[in-house]
Amino acid sequence: MNGASIITIRTPTANCYLVRGETTYLVDTNTPKSRKKLLEEIAKSEVKPGEIRYILITHCHYDHTGNLAELKRMSGARVAAGEKDAEIIAGRRPYAGPGDISPAGRLLRRIPPSLLERYQRFETCEVDLPLHEGDVLEELGLAVLELPGHTEGGVAYYHGENRLAFIGDMVSNFLNRPGPPFLSFSYDRRLILDSMRRLAELDLEYAYPGHGTVIGPRASEKIARLADRLSARWKPE
């Protein structure tokens, strides 16, 4: 990562990150609707699709996997994702849909699944590297942390030397204010808090979220304060 640059590709829906360095890789792939913008931004960065060696997916939601299959075809990149979400990304396991831990989620669960599926559909894609806690992507200097609570197989990619991590939706940062993942599409508040505390313990300077702006400096401290606030607010239901 030393000498590498991280290019944020942001659409109104989600972020992805193109990391240019000795080995170029992409973290997440946004929604199917944002394909044109994503490809334009990659072209603007002067990275040719064939130079992208890895596509790292933080979790299985359509706003992170929306262009995965197409980009894998274009680049020949190896695709990595947490094992439990990899099964969903590959289409071997159905996505559970909205969670029941928030009023909005409970309301969404009453919508026919076929309607939600139509909205959140993405082309399924084989995952080359199903990941587990403690795995290391040597070539990229990244360690894998399992972060359940939003999706079962959500992961963060942690660069210890540079004290940064790509954290998916575990912490959002809208208007530069750290917040929880979308609860309507999460399934367990206690696991969310546990996952946030793991990020808080890392001594992160910067955390790169799926939604909102980059968290930092002192990202871990900010995430620790968020977890404290939420655990006071989230009394057991």
Selected range binding Zn ion among 6-14, 45-53, 55-63, 87-95, rule: CB under 5 A: 55-63
d(CA 167, CA 132): 15
Binding of residue 152 to Zn ion (CB under 5 A)? no
Helix or strand (DSSP H, E) at 123 = none
> x/- contact string, 91-110, with Zn ion (CB under 5 A)?
--------------------
Q: Pick between residue 1 and residue 116 the one whose CB is nearest to Zn ion.
A: 116
Strand order through the sheet with 78-82: 5-10, 15-20, 24-27, 52-56, 78-82, 129-131
Binding of residue 85 to Zn ion (CB under 5 A)? no
d(CA 18, CA 80): 15
Q: What is the β-pairing status of strands 78-82 and 52-56?
A: parallel
Q: Pick between residue 61 and residue 72 the one whose CB is nearest to Zn ion.
A: 61
Binding of residue 159 to Zn ion (CB under 5 A)? no
Selected range binding Zn ion among 27-35, 65-73, 163-171, 201-209, rule: CB under 5 A: 163-171
Query: Residues near 204 by Cβ (< 8 Å), separated by ≥ 6?
Result: 158, 163, 164, 165, 216, 219, 220, 223
DSSP string for 22-34: SSEEEE----GGG
Choose which of 42, 169, 212, 222 interacts with Zn ion (CB under 5 A): 169
Strands (E) in 132-205, as ranges, are 136-137, 142-146, 155-159, 164-168, 172-174, 177-179
Selected range binding Zn ion among 22-30, 57-65, 121-129, 172-180, rule: CB under 5 A: 57-65
Q: How far is the CB of 58 from Zn ion (least distance, A)?
A: 8
Helix or strand (DSSP H, E) at 147 = none
Selected range binding Zn ion among 40-48, 84-92, 95-103, 164-172, rule: CB under 5 A: 164-172
Binding of residue 28 to Zn ion (CB under 5 A)? no
Q: How far is the CB of 169 from Zn ion (least distance, A)?
A: 4
Q: What is the β-pairing status of strands 129-131 and 136-137?
A: unpaired
Give the Cβ contact number of residue 50 at 10 Å. 11
Binding of residue 146 to Zn ion (CB under 5 A)? no
Selected range binding Zn ion among 33-41, 56-64, 94-102, 105-113, rule: CB under 5 A: 56-64
Choose which of 25, 38, 61, 159 interacts with Zn ion (CB under 5 A): 61
Q: How far is the CB of 181 from Zn ion (least distance, A)?
A: 6
| Residues lying near Zn ion in the complex (CB under 5 A) | 61, 169
